[in-house]
Structure formats: C-alpha cells, structure tokens
Amino acid sequence: MSEIADAAKRLLLGRPVRSEHLGHTLLPKRVALPVFASDALSSVAYAPDEILLTLAIAGLSATMISPWVGLAVVVVLLTVVASYRQNVRAYPSGGGDYEVATVNLGPTAGVGVASALMVDYVLTVAVSISSGAQYAASAIPALRDHEAAFAIGLVVLLTLVNLRGVKESGTFFAVPVYLFMAAIGTTAVVGFFRYVTGSLGQAESARFELTAESGFDQGLIGIAGAFLVARAFASGCAALTGVEAISNGVPAFRKPKSRNAATTLALLGGISAVMMLSILFLARATGVHYAEDPHTQLALDGEPLPADYVQHPVLGQLAETVFSGVPVLFYVVSAVTGIILVLAANTAFNGFPVLGSILAKDGYLPRQLHTRGDRLAFSNGIITLAVAAIVLIWAFDAQVTRLIQLYIVGVFVSFTLSQLGMVRHWTRALRTEHQPRERSRMRRSRAVNAVGLAMTATVLVIVLVTKFTHGAWIAILAMGLVFVLMRSIRKHYDTVRDELALGDDEATAARALPSRVHAIVLVSKIHRPTMRALAYARASRPSVLEAVTVGVDPDDVDELMRQWEALDLPVPLRVLDSPFREITRPVLSYVRSVRRESPRDLVVVYIPEYVVGHWWEQLLHNQSALRLKGRLLFTPGVVVASVPWQLSSSQGQTGLEGEGFRQRFTGY
C-alpha cells in the first residue's frame, strides 16, 4: 500500500530534489514577474468592476467619475510601489513587512503585520479563485450554481502544482500571465484607436437605464455621496493587493536579489496602472453599466431586465465591444482573464509559505511550517493555505461580492505599519551616517516612505470606515484571532525552552550515572516477542532485572509460570495481583513503588510491541501496550523501551527494502 502511495506522490509531485540544488530554483525577472505579480496584475479584472458597482448605487451620473476614482487608486499604487522598492533594498532577507515592523517597531507590531498578511493571503486565494470560477460559469452555463465546487477543485489543482516547486509552478504560470497582459494591452490599444477614429461602439449594457438606490436620487451630493465615493475608492484599492508579495519573496530571486526585486516591482506598478486606467476609461467611453443587482438597478425601456439575463464582467463587456465583428478575440480575452484570476492565487501560494516559514523559525507558528518538502517547497505552508482558502470559499459560496468586503483590510494594515517602520529605519540610519551623498539618499528614501505612510494610513482609515459593517469586521476578527494564536504559540515555545534549558545542577547531573538501573520486562505470554524483550534487557546489563506479569486469570497465570520454569529462564518472574482484572493500574503501582524505595534508581520498562502493516491490524493489537506507555511517560525517573516485533504484514512498509537491506537486517 505504501509503495502505491509513494508512486502516486512521485507521479503528482515529481522526484525529490536534493538540498544542494536549492540554487537552481531561483527565479529570473521574467519568471518572477508572473509568479509574484499575478495577483496585482489580475486585480485589474475585478477592481474596476468594484468601483463601477459601488458608484452605480448613486445612478448613472455617479459612474462618470469612475476614471478619477481609478486615478486616485493608481496614485496610491505607484506610491506604495516606490515605497516597497526601498523595503526590498533595506531588508532583502524575505521577511518583508514582518521583518520591517519587528526590527523597527517591536515584536508586537511584527506579529500584528504577520497576522494581517496571513489573513490577506488566504483571502487572496479565495477571492481570486472565486472570481475565476464566476468567469468560467459565465462562459460555461453548466457550471452555474456550482461555482463553489469548481473553485475548490481549482484550489486543489493549484496546490498540487505549487507542491512541485517554486520554479516549476512559475514556469507553468508564466505563459498565461503574459498572455493576459498581451490581451489587455491589445484591448486597450485597439479600443483607444477606435475611440480616436470614432469607430468605437457602445457596450450592450449602455442601452440599459441605471436606477439610483433610495437616498441617492440626487447623485453624489452631501455626506452620503462623499461616503459612497470613498467606498468606491476603497474597493478599487484591491488593485494594490499582491505588491507586498515581492518583498516577502526576495530570496527566491536570482542575484543581485534586491535589484531584481526592485525592478520587478517597478514593472508591476507601471503595467497595473496602465491597464486599470485603460479599462476604466474605455468603460466610460463605451457606456458600460455594471450593478450589484442588475434585475433591480438596471431596466430597459422602463421595464426590469428578464430573470434569465446574465451580467458579464466589465472586461468581458469591453472585449465584446472593442472586438465587435471579431468574436474570437472576445473569447480569447475572456479565457485568459478567467485563467489569470485563478493563477492570481499563485502569488499567495508563494508568499504565505515563505512568511509562515519565517514565523515558524521565530517560534510564532508550529515548527513544521519551517521545513521544506521533497521538492524544496514549503509543503506544509502550501497545504495550510489551501485548506484555509477552501473553508472560506465553501462558507461564502464563492461569491466575490461577499468576499471582497473582507479584502484589503489586512494588506493596508501591513502597508501602514511597514511604511512607519521604514521611516524609523531611515531616521535611525541617519544618526550614524556621515557621508553627504549617502545621507541625501537616505533622506530621499525616508521622504518616499513618509508619503507612502500618509497615503496607506489614509486608505486604511477609509477602508475601515466604509467597509466595516459590510464584512470587514470578519477580517479584523480573524486577524485578532491569528495574532492571539501566534503569541500563544510563541509563549508555549518560550516556556518549553526555559523548562528544558540546562542549569548548573542539570549539567552536573548529566555527568553522573544513576545509582542503579532496575529493568522490568512486561510479559503477557511466552512467545518470540517476549524472548526478544528479555534478550534486549539482559544485553543492557541492568543492576536488577525481572519479568512482570499481571494476574488477571488464575489459569493463565499458572500456565505461564509452568512454561517459565520449564524454560529455566535466568530472570525471575513476578506476578502482580489484579482483583479488578486491570492491567495498567497494577503495573503503574508497582513501578511507582520501585521508585519510592530507590529514588536514585533508574527504572527501565521494556514493552514488547507488534509492528503491523495495515491500519485495521493496529486496532487488534498493542492496545494495552499503548495505554501503559501513555501512562508511564508521565512517571518521573522511568524510561519506556518499546521492543518491536515485525509481523509478516509489515514487510515492505519502510520503503527501504532491497536485497542488501534484507541481507543485513534479518536478525534482531
């Protein structure tokens, strides 16, 4: 069975990679861009939708300002990108925002940033995959009402691909990401050309009437209008998610790591800004109408839209309009957009495991997250992220509109604290730097980070105010729970470390031997496992050696004593009385009595155990041994020695069997 499982694992994940080959997994910029920037690049497929959807609440006139809202988002995006270029140069180790906050603001701020990032990575997967599933459902009617199941399947697929390794997954994803950039670029160029020449038509939804919701009949006026614009801006800031992933992934770049990461950040910022502004401008030029509930907000000739009307995403409507007369290009744009939305989750699959590994190394997460798997990927982190995202997708039924309200809170918390940490970093560095040229560079860097701090803090306040009641409170609660969990794990590790640390007494005791060793071999019947346990115990040459059995059935005890005397074994057999037919309690009482009589003695209990090859055999054997072992482990001064006896069903279960192995290890 294990051979079949191992073969299946090798088929899905590939052969194990040796540790010294880690350098071969480093990424050049052309591969790093799609690996780490796919999230930010893909956000242009849904960030404009969220801006238009929010502004549509106030009617048609409100949607006319969508390019200006997008421009504000782009200004923040470029500022954050410029700020993070300073981060990757100053902290190239891969800790990203967590390292910046920890070093400059303290461990509490660092854990706060880490909890925000981890929640945001999970949401990135859930939102991206759910959005891709909705695109797929709009193109394939059979998937409608099954988006959640389809999205969960996509998460499983992405998990398997990433378990094969960072470089392998990056190469696999590079082509679709570049195709997406080419598709959006072609749509923008053709759209602008047709707009300039006057041949750009109107979108299908342009003929619909957009009705403002109650309270917004006069459009964007008053406090309510300003609040709605702020909310649209906050939703559009989803375009900034993923920027921080590059700062966490600097170790995955080829040398010079910092320079390559900074260049990739610049490419990311420029491409995302151009694509987002192009989509919003063309959406206004083609009259795209996009509403959260098209059947109540949109109407045709005064009549509500039919129940079977399916509202296509903004980018889909644009492609259909720009490439009117060439439907194949519309399908190409829709297909690569759906694919890139799925692959956008790959940014989180690269960022979350690396961050988890660093946190595990620092003691804030279980140590298992720090180790690499067979393919040099952080397998445990990848699986943890996948499971968390699947739970979210299932809980929110893969509805992007519901999930997006939880989004970007975490990332702007990390943005803000990171920029504050960088300002303090440059301020501290300036105190010890005396070279005029270097001081000028540091002042410029501090100014960039200070502007980034002001902008990200402002956006964070806007996001909290406008999205709190729409679901952002769930993300904040999740961040708080993760924060408390990580602090608790660190406290536990610190407590264990202090408890296990050597003092002067322990160091002295380690050089001294116990006064005596009292060995006890547990016997249930006389068979080959018992003989092996006796042989092992005798080979250790203890001061006292005895066999112990529990007298549950008088006839069985008499037969055991007869066989023992007949074999003339050189070990005395002690029978423990058990009036209530228990096994564990009499053994524990006897072992403790030995400890009380000679507190300085070491008691070693030898327990024969069967090694079985099938899970159901484990249910039939070793139950008494497991109970005894579990109780004895809590008894001070007692060592438990398991003496294995391999049953025939266990052969071939180690994966090490071979002719040479069998020849060398057929005996005791």
Output Rg (C-alpha) for the chain, integer angstroms: 33
DSSP secondary-structure letter at 311? P
First to last CA, the chain: 25
Summarize the confidence of residues 368-377 as an average pLDDT. Answer: 67
- In this model, does residue 510 exceed pLDDT 60? no
Residue 377 has pLDDT above 80, yes or no: no
The pLDDT assigned to 667 comes to 43
Same domain, 373 and 254: yes
* Measured CA angle at 202 (ends 197, 208), to 5 deg: 160
**Shared domain check, 626 and 484:** no
* pLDDT for residue 1: 47
User: Average pLDDT in the 483-488 region?
Assistant: 94
> For position 358, what pLDDT does the model report?
86
- Band the pLDDT of 474: cuts 50, 70, 90: confident
Number of domains in the chain: 2
pLDDT in tens, 123-135: 888 888 887 787 6
Q: How far apart are CA 364 and CA 665, in angstroms?
A: 42
Q: How confident is the model at residue 616 (pLDDT cuts 50, 70, 90)?
A: confident
Q: Is residue 165 part of a domain?
A: yes
Look at residue 189 in the predicted model and tell me its pLDDT. 94
Q: Are residues 225 and 139 in the same domain?
A: yes
DSSP code at position 27: B
Highest mean pLDDT among 21-30, 204-213, 227-236, 546-555: 546-555
Q: What is the pLDDT of residue 664?
A: 41
pLDDT at 518: 92
Continuous H helices in 375-471: 379-395, 400-403, 409-432, 436-467
Strand partners, 641: 606
Residue 485 lies in a domain: yes
Mean pLDDT value across residues 76-85: 88
416 pLDDT higher than 80: yes
Query: Does residue 574 share a domain with residue 482?
Result: no
Residue 423 confidence (pLDDT):
92
143 assigned to some structural domain: yes
**CATH for 527:** 3.40.50
Tell me the pTM: 0.71
Structure tokens at 315: 């980018």
Please report the pLDDT score of residue 217 as a whole number: 63
Q: Is the pLDDT of residue 213 over 50?
A: yes
Has residue 21 been placed in a domain? no
The pLDDT of residue 611: 81
Q: How many CA atoms lie within 13 A of 300 on its CB side?
A: 10
Q: Is the pLDDT of residue 260 over 70?
A: yes
Tens digit of pLDDT for each residue in 159-173? 888 777 655 555 666
pLDDT tens-place string over residues 93-111 = 766 788 889 989 999 999 9
**What pLDDT does 45 receive?**
77
Higher pLDDT, 19 or 422: 422
Please say if the pLDDT value at position 659 is more than 60: no
User: Percentage of the chain with pLDDT > 70?
Assistant: 86
CA distance 496 to 251: 31
Instruction: Retrieve residue 182's tokens.
Output: 């080419």
Question: Prior bond to 256 cis, omega within 30?
Answer: yes
Helix or strand run (H / E) with residue 508: helix 504-511
Q: Are residues 324 and 250 in the same domain?
A: yes
Residues 468 and 541 in one domain: no
Across 123-148, average pLDDT: 79
Q: Whole-number mean pLDDT of the chain? A: 81
Query: What is the predicted pLDDT for the residue at 665?
Result: 39
Q: What is the mean pLDDT of residues 113-129?
A: 87
Quick one: pLDDT at residue 195? Answer: 92
Strand partners of residue 519: 545, 604
Look at the alpha carbons of 262, 107, 40, 348 in this order and tell me if their dihedral is positive or negative: positive
Q: How confident is the model at residue 621 (pLDDT cuts 50, 70, 90)?
A: low
Q: Which two tokens stand for residue 466?
A: 């406008």
For β-strands 638-646 and 544-551, DSSP reports them as unpaired
Counted residue by residue, the chain has a size of 668
Distances (CA, A) of 334 to 142, 180, 454: 17, 10, 37
**249 and 176 within one domain:** yes
- Both tokens of residue 542? 């203890």
Say yes or no: 277 and 360 in one domain: yes
Residue 535 in domain? yes
Tens-digit pLDDT profile for residues 520-576: 999 988 888 899 999 999 998 999 999 999 888 888 888 889 999 898 888 999 999
- For residues 219 and 346, which has the higher predicted lDDT (pLDDT)? 346
Residues 138 and 57 in one domain: yes
What does the block give as tokens for 319? 């492609």
Interhelix angle for 584-597 vs 623-632, to 10°?
30
The three-state secondary structure class of 598 is coil
pLDDT band at 656 (very low <50, low <70, confident <90, very high): very low
Q: Are residues 327 and 382 in the same domain?
A: yes
614 versus 296: which is more confidently predicted? 296
User: Does residue 503 form part of some domain?
Assistant: no
Question: Do 103 and 193 lie in a common domain?
Answer: yes
For 143, which DSSP code? G
Range of the domain at 516: 512-664
What's the average model confidence in pLDDT over 452-461? 88
Does residue 568 fall inside a structural domain? yes
Quote the tokens at residue 100: 């910046």
pLDDT band at 71 (very low <50, low <70, confident <90, very high): very high
What are 275-327's pLDDT values in tens digits?
999 999 999 999 888 887 787 888 887 788 887 777 888 888 899 899 988 88
CATH number of the domain enclosing 265:
1.20.1740.10
Indicate the SS3 state at residue 565: helix
Domain membership of residue 244 (yes or no) is yes
Q: Quick check: 387 pLDDT over 90?
A: yes
Model confidence at 405, in pLDDT bands (50, 70, 90)? Answer: low
What's the CA gap between 439 and 437, in Å, rounded?
A: 5
Q: Which residue has the tokens 């701090």?
A: 453
Give the model's pLDDT for residue 192.
93
User: Are 144 and 62 in the same domain?
Assistant: yes
Instruction: Say what the pLDDT of residue 662 is.
Output: 41
For the beta carbon of residue 328, count every other beta carbon within 10 angstroms. Answer: 8
